[in-house]
Amino acid sequence: MPVATPKQYEAMLEAAQKGNFAYPAINITSISTINGALKAFAEAGSDGIIQVSTGGGQFASGLAVNDAVVGSIVLAEAIHRLAEEYDVLVALHTDHCQPGKVDSFLKPLIEATAKRRAEGRGNLFQSHMLDASELPLEENMKLSQELLKLCAAQEIILEVEAGVVGGEEDGVDHSDQPAEKLYTTPEDMVAVYEALNGLGRYMFAATFGNVHGSYKPGAVKLKPTILRDGQAAVTQKYGAEAAFDLVFHGGSGSTLEDIRETLEYGVVKMNIDTDTQYAFTRPIVTHICENIEGVLKIDGEIGNKKAYDPRSYIKKAEQGVCDRLKQACDDLLATGKSIFGTV
């Protein structure tokens, strides 16, 4: 089954860590974006991570329901079924969940996995993200410890964050954060390891100047060496086995040089959302502009059903997502490195 089992997901992360590459983690909101992602991973010969945000879950549940948990479960179940048609592994993940949404979003989804496991089925989601970066580090780690224990009981990996990713994404606005909050210190990284070691498998989103949103290349001033120095601080104190599985948020506008450098320091997952949103929308805009008289019933005319049939432009949008995600696989050196069939 191409949705990774817990052991396969761990093997994916270990392969990335040993091979100095990372998996693109794409935020999806619909069947079309799911299909674009699966097509991309299959054509690239790369395993990957497909993730749902609270806003994405709300959107997928429809205007009348507007429930992040319901929509996330619907999307996850669709991925489980569709992924069976492909010969690569994908893992399902949920993106930024702030402390105020833990009880209403994360815990119900953990329970949904527990229910599936009790029925002899696989995990619904393989990992979840707690974004408690708004809290002081001590409080952040206390909540992280609680959730990591819950996740570990169901063989779920927890992603945590210390430091703040700047900018705004999906209703999460950190654009007013002071500059120093955008950079995780080596001391903070040691504190994260000491708080979470031994409680379960986790990934760590350390911040090194990354910012959500769309920027021209070079506009975002990353300091990847922060990841290097933090990893060194932890491994010098606790040994090589203490090295983090790191996550790169806010990568839009980053140079390829910066992206590749982070791979040397333990980044195994890079989120991609802004760029694939644009890749989805641009072909639709082009279609509308090129077929405006067919799409709109202008001056009492009847238009062209083939032009305004949503399938005519959504298929182009799906391909746009596929093309951009394949580029991400190349950028992250994941192309051709699927472990499907070996674990």
Domain boundary assignment for the chain: 6-331
- What would the mean pLDDT of 132-140 be, rounded to a whole number? 93
According to the 3-state scheme, what is the secondary structure of the chain? Answer: CCECCHHHHHHHHHHHHHHCCCEEEEECCCHHHHHHHHHHHHHHCCCEEEEECHHHHHHHHCCCCCCHHHHHHHHHHHHHHHHCCCCCCEEEEECCCCHHHHHHHHHHHHHHHHHHHHCCCCCCCCEEEECCCCCCHHHHHHHHHHHHHHHHCCCCEEEEEECCCECEECCEECCCCCHHHHECCHHHHHHHHHHHCCCCCEEEEECECCECCCCCCCCCCCCCHHHHHHHHHHHHHHCHHHCCCEEECCCCCCCHHHHHHHHHCCEEEEEECHHHHHHHHHHHHHHHHHCHHHHCCHHHCCCCHHHHCHHHHHHHHHHHHHHHHHHHHHHCCCCCCCCCCCC
Is the pLDDT reported for residue 173 higher than 70?
no
| 204-251 residue pLDDT tens | 999 888 765 555 555 557 889 999 999 999 999 999 999 999 999 877
Superfamily of domain 6-331: Aldolase class I (3.20.20.70)
**Catalytic residue set:** 95
**Average pLDDT, rounded, for the chain:** 92
Q: Is residue 92 very low, low, confident or very high in pLDDT (cuts 50, 70, 90)?
A: very high
Is the pLDDT reported for residue 40 higher than 60?
yes
| 194-203 residue pLDDT tens | 999 999 999 9
| 310-331 residue pLDDT tens | 999 999 999 999 999 999 999 9
The overall pTM is greater than 0.95: no
- What would the mean pLDDT of 84-107 be, rounded to a whole number? 97
